[in-house]
Amino acid sequence: MACLLKAPDGALKGCVTFTTQERDLVINKSADLRAAIQALKRRYVIGLHHNWHDHHFRYDPLFDFSMAGEGDLIEAEGKDFARIPLDACNFAPPCYSAPRAGEPFWDILYVARAVNFKGIPQFLAAIRDLYDQGWTPRVLFICPVPETLEIPGIADLRAHFEATFDPVERQRVVLLTIDWDYPFPLDSDSLAFFYRNSRIFFHAAPQERRCRVAAYAWAGGMPVVCSEPVSSILPAHLRKPPFLYVVKDGMPAWPSLALALDSRPEAANWHEVIDEFSTAGSADRIDIMLHDLAMRYRWGTVAGSPVAKSKLDLRLGRHHGISLGANRIDMSLAEFVHILDGTPDRKLDRAAESTDPELFLVSTKSENNGFLNRLMKKLL
């Protein structure tokens, strides 16, 4: 969605980002909306948050910069473009790095929506292999389920799970399916509870590159077992045990899981890994990057106000009128752009300081509309 990163301050520019889904499904289909976003550049630097990697990326000058990791974008014609190598996964809320109360209860955790690219069949097969090798870890798989299951070859996830593990094994391997408030049925504090009570995180997606669920694990000092694409989220010099155990393409995952389960991660220095995915550290980094890029690409001077860092793990990837549940804002993108353009700096600054700046602006607009409607009824 349109995510307010910084409020403008007079001649100093604010910053707002849009998602690639909004670009493809809404912005590029409306000349009027493109013109309205272009007009925002009087007061804002405009960013594009890439919700998936794009190795055939075509630079669009409507957007001043792109938010994506190194290697996630390859410009089709080799054009230069401004890139901030941070995105939603770099802004884990503090609850994920809160101290643990005691020894973790679960050995392996996975959190994934029931969609094809999350590698759910691979996950279940790897745990099956681990048990067949004599390992019996406690496993928790938290799985938000959409109305229509989107995993080819699995018509019924529960039936598939029960066919994979016998009743005794299912006392230690738990599939927790959640069928409400898709795709984010649990708030951050609730989900973080499961992370803080687990030893390692296993992300079985074969191709996903930058994902929040793995980032939450690293933010909490948890080893992650995953494919090479998932591991790209880590800086190159940190892609090693005990922070990371890579499953090579075409190789079984159970040996990497066994190594991670046998590791002693508490003996390592996790500071740099945790900082890479913490909201506080990433907010400082993005602020510096914005100012540096503004000078390099001559966007104008960016406001010195703090980055609106609350809930950026969700807000950066949220959409207007697209997607479901908490992953969308029920206001058209055109109307929200109008709000951004017409709202005074002081009010935008208050919004940036709120727990959810976009909802703050939407709710204020709704309250104003309600007041005007009530006033008109009295006058008529």
Residues 99 and 222 grouped into a single domain: yes
Residues 85 and 209 grouped into a single domain: no
Residues 131 and 84 grouped into a single domain: no
258, 262, 267, 270 alpha-carbon torsion, rounded to 10°: 20
Q: Residue 330: its pLDDT value, please?
A: 74
Residues 226 and 250 grouped into a single domain: yes
Cis check: omega of the bond before 183, within 30 degrees of 0: yes
Residues 137 and 268 grouped into a single domain: yes
Q: Among residues 315, 314, 234, 276, which one has the least CA distance to residue 15? A: 315
Q: Tell me the torsion sign for CA atoms 295, 297, 277, 182.
A: positive
Residues 334 and 312 grouped into a single domain: yes
Residues 252 and 283 grouped into a single domain: no
As for how many domains the chain has, the answer is 2
Residue that finishes a domain, picked among 233, 261, 276: 276
Q: Answer yes or no: are the C-beta atoms of 337 and 345 closer than 8 Å.
A: no
Domain span holding position 176: 94-276
Global confidence as pTM: 0.88
Please identify every stretch of the chain with a pLDDT value under 70, giving residue numbers as ranges.
1, 320-328, 365-380
Q: What are the CA-CA distances from residue 350 to residues 13, 328, 344, 369 (Å)?
A: 16, 22, 10, 19
Q: Answer yes or no: are the C-beta atoms of 63 and 45 closer than 8 Å.
A: no
Residue that finishes a domain, picked among 258, 276, 294: 276
Q: Among residues 278, 196, 270, 264, which one has the least CA distance to residue 238? A: 270
Read off the pLDDT of residues 235-270 as tens digits, 9 standing for 90 and up: 999 999 999 999 998 899 999 999 999 999 988 999
Q: Residue 331: its pLDDT value, please?
A: 78
Euclidean distance between CA atoms 365 and 346, whole angstroms: 15
Residues 214 and 111 grouped into a single domain: yes
Residues 84 and 153 grouped into a single domain: no
Cis check: omega of the bond before 344, within 30 degrees of 0: no
Q: What is the CATH number of the domain that holds 99?
A: 3.40.50.2000
Residues 263 and 294 grouped into a single domain: no
Read off the pLDDT of residues 167-207 as tens digits, 9 standing for 90 and up: 999 999 999 999 999 889 999 999 999 999 999 999 999 98
Tally the residues of the chain.
380
Residues 363 and 323 grouped into a single domain: yes
Residue that finishes a domain, picked among 276, 299, 314: 276
Q: Among residues 174, 119, 179, which one has the least CA distance to residue 141? A: 174
